[in-house]
A = this chain, B = another copy of it.
Amino acid sequence: MNEEIARKQLIDYINQKIELTPEEQFTVANAYHLHQIKKKDFFLKEDTQCKLQGFVVGGTFRVFYTDKKSLEHVLYFAFKDWWMGDIASFFDDNPTKLNAQAMEDSWILVIGREETEQLFTDVPKLERLFRIITQRTLSVLQKRFFLTVSANAEERYEELIKRHDGIEQLVPQHQIASYLGILPESLSRMKKQLMDRRMKKN
């Protein structure tokens, strides 16, 4: 992976959504810089001031909070062509509360807060793109929130599998439990019950 190829991937992604002139493409591409994040290293670390946004070029991240009992709660997993960042710390000037940790050696295109604002000034069309991306993200989170308050862990699990088939091959089970909002022990127990029920039926 090199920066040129990574930037091309970003531009391809953006071109699917809006049209940019060659000059605009150039401006956008050069605003981002490629970083490699080794497995288990962090792109975002809670209590730090790094106000970065990242576009995942390759690899996998888990984005999570840590609660006061030191339990981790996965907000989402980020794969190729996903955006990651801490929107909250873009407003409050506080250190971030989010963590984003690489689950395998990964590459991301990174941009800082000031550069982002400069970029929006230079290429106003991006405002529209990021408005739409943010609205879609909000819509997805609203659904996830609703599921969390209205369905039990088993229903949330089946919804996750349905919506993201193959995730169990990509992500360890205890992190799926964390995404579902339950403990690894509970997910293990639940899967056994599901298996037992399927055995009885057949």
Contact = CB atoms under 8 A, between A and B. Distances in A.
Interface of A: 65, 67-68, 71, 73, 75, 87-88, 90-91, 97, 120, 124, 127-128, 130-131, 134-139, 141-146, 148-151, 181
Given A87-B142, A137-B138, A148-B148, 7 more contacts: A73-B150, A90-B135, A90-B139, A91-B135, A127-B128, A131-B134, A134-B138
Copy count, this protein chain? 2
A127 B131 contact: yes
Contacts of A181: 149
Among A73, A124, A138, A148, chain B packs the most CB atoms within 10 A around the CB of A138
Contacts of A65: 146, 150
A120 B130 CA distance: 14
